[in-house]
Amino acid sequence: MKNNNYYIAIDLGAESGRVIVGTLKDQKLSMKEIHRFPTKQIVEDETIYWDINFIYSEILKGIKNASALGYNEPIGIGIDSWAVDFGLLDDKDELIELPIAYRDKRTDGMMERVFEVISKNEIYNSTGIQFLKFNSIFQFYSLVKNRPEILGSAKSFLMIPDLLNFFLTGNKFNEYTNATTTSMLAAIEKEISKEIIEKLGIPSKLMQKIIFPASKIGKVKKEIAKGLGINSADVIAVGSHDTASAIVAIPVVESNWAYLSSGTWSLLGIEVKEPILTEKAQEYSFTNEGGVDNTIRFLKNIMGLWILQGSRLSWSKENEDLDYSTITNLAEKEKPFQAFINPDDERFFNPNDMIAEIEKYLSETNQQIVNGIGVLARVILESLAFKVAYYFQQLSSFMNEPIEVLHIVGGGSQNKLLNQFIANACNVKVVSGPTEGTAAGNIMTQALANSDVKTLSEIRQYIRNSYDIIDYFPQNRKEWKTNYKRFLDKCSLQGGDLNE
């Protein structure tokens, strides 16, 4: 191990970004947050853009701060972020416009228009990706139909981490794990499907060479490194889709396990070696996303804590100091099962007023309108747990043996009440932690590229050595089984009893 045995992880989420230094020593990983910043958006003419220039400037500030603290010779730098969004560069390698955010309305109705050109079956059989209206393929088709001049000027397609990697190094690649989320990458061949995109009028020349996690992208440009006060470190491809990095850091020991990456979105899945492209997988709308070390994340995207985040924005107008811990404590004191919502209802995707939409949902489903921070928060958390259980049953049907444990990672794993609700609803042991799984996976994948660790199993041993985890066991089974039927009814979902 080198003396400068540390790496820098840049972990970008839909609300905030962080610059973290991770150090490997004595088969343990320790991490230190250096800088945190909002991942700002700009709204112009009703279009939602990511302020990528601000985000990049904050990344540089974080690296410079790390250097000032003595971390001026990192072995590597790795970037992860959310999926599907991208930037387009012109022939001068300049951004044509800021990347548009996935919650923008430009993809409204685009799925149906794409399916008029190419069938759902053809797309799924090739890519294995769940159909979500914000997938990159539908974002692209909105350009084809509504803004062809943008595509006419474009020379390069780079997803958010790819774009930031380019800023640092000058090298252009499409990293594999994030590229799989586009619905444009053939799952078996692990290459962009020219057949699919060219049928839709998307120029294949825009796509870059696919690069896989634990590959070196290039050195930080000398002039940038000098300005930051660091060595010209390697920029390393990690699981640039943040969930891919989070799954790397699961401290798994069981043979039959599943995971829930809990945050703004909840991603429920299993780790497999080959994509599952069956009719059943398409019917259940499961997705095959790329993972680190030649793995596939077979999973379901579920609306996560976004609904609670949106509600908090409204509550915070009257109570600026309202944090998630306070909200959860209030929820825990409330009477259970007062009402239910379907977290995946499209009305909750990007409403002007989240609480007003919840009230409309309750009214339309003939439920009593509930008021108060605690009771609304409990409705959200119980409903999310039931929706996880709904898909947990579907996921279990793809397994030869029962799932022994559900590992919850990510920021949402800090919500102990939600973790317990999920254990109750799924009737399975839940193991939570680490909360900083995405950054940990980012750093350990960089270590894999540098041969400081050799295998995914060794990485997970480091994680087990490094972090405390908490076990949750099912409680109040009769009560949860009874109310699951009410949940299904109010959400117009078909399903059997909860797992025994």
pLDDT digits (tens, 9 = 90+) for 195-216: 999 999 999 999 999 999 999 9
User: Do 16 and 160 share a structural domain?
Assistant: yes
- Rounded to whole angstroms, the Cα distance separating 261 from 85 reads 19
Domain boundary among 241, 264, 285: 241
Residue 321's pLDDT is what? 76
Total domains in the chain come to 2
User: Do 209 and 292 share a structural domain?
Assistant: no
**Domain presence at residue 440:** no
Helix (H) or strand (E) holding 6: strand 6-12
**Domain presence at residue 205:** yes
User: Which tokens is 482 given?
Assistant: 């009874």
**Domain presence at residue 448:** no
User: Do 177 and 43 share a structural domain?
Assistant: yes
Evaluate if residue 1 carries a pLDDT over 70: no
Range of the domain at 132: 6-241
Q: What is the mean pLDDT of the chain?
A: 95
338 CB neighbour count, 10 Å cutoff:
15
Q: Which of 80, 242, 344, 452 is catalytic?
A: 242
User: Do 296 and 230 share a structural domain?
Assistant: no
User: Do 165 and 294 share a structural domain?
Assistant: no
**Domain presence at residue 326:** yes
User: Do 402 and 300 share a structural domain?
Assistant: yes
Does the annotation mark 104 as catalytic? no
User: Do 138 and 50 share a structural domain?
Assistant: yes
Q: Which residues of 147-174 are buried (b: 16+ CB within 10 A; e: fewer)?
A: eeeebeebbbbbbbbbbbbbbbbebbbb
User: Do 258 and 236 share a structural domain?
Assistant: no
**Domain presence at residue 461:** no
User: Which tokens is 466 given?
Assistant: 């490094």
Mean pLDDT of the region 8-17: 94
Evaluate if residue 433 carries a pLDDT over 60: yes
Evaluate if residue 100 carries a pLDDT over 70: yes
Evaluate if residue 2 carries a pLDDT over 50: no
As a whole number of Å, the end-to-end CA separation of the chain is 48
Residue 389's pLDDT is what? 97
**Domain presence at residue 246:** no
* 44-62 pLDDT tens trace: 999 999 999 999 999 999 9
Please name which of 299, 489, 476 lies closest in space to residue 394, comparing C-alpha atoms.
Answer: 299
User: Which tokens is 175 given?
Assistant: 């990293």
Is residue 308 within 8 Å of 380, Cβ to Cβ? Answer: yes
Residue 499's pLDDT is what? 64
Domain boundary among 241, 268, 294: 241
Residue 495's pLDDT is what? 79
pLDDT range class, residue 411, cuts 50, 70, 90: confident
User: Do 284 and 158 share a structural domain?
Assistant: no
**Domain presence at residue 270:** yes
User: Do 258 and 209 share a structural domain?
Assistant: no
Domain boundary among 221, 241, 261: 241
- Rounded to two decimals, the pTM is 0.90
* 372-404 pLDDT tens trace: 999 999 999 999 999 999 999 999 999 989 999
Mean pLDDT of the region 465-480: 95
Start-end of H helices in 333-427: 354-364, 373-396, 416-426
- Rounded to whole angstroms, the Cα distance separating 486 from 346 reads 20
DSSP letters of 177-244?
HHHGGGT-EETTTTEE-HHHHHHTT--GGGPPPEE-TTEEEEEPPHHHHHHHTS--PEEEE---BHHH
User: Do 212 and 92 share a structural domain?
Assistant: yes
User: At 495, which CATH number?
Assistant: 3.30.420.40
Distances (CA, A) of 497 to 283, 386, 387, 393: 20, 12, 13, 10
Mean pLDDT of the region 289-298: 97
**Domain presence at residue 455:** no
User: Do 372 and 225 share a structural domain?
Assistant: no
Name every residue whose Cβ is closer than 8 Å to that of residue 499 and which is 6 or more positions away in sequence.
389, 392, 393, 396, 426, 427, 428
pLDDT range class, residue 318, cuts 50, 70, 90: confident
- Rounded to whole angstroms, the Cα distance separating 248 from 462 reads 11
Task: Collapse the DSSP code of 266 into the 3-class scheme (helix H, G, I; strand E, B; otherwise coil) and give the result.
Answer: strand
- Rounded to whole angstroms, the Cα distance separating 371 from 359 reads 9
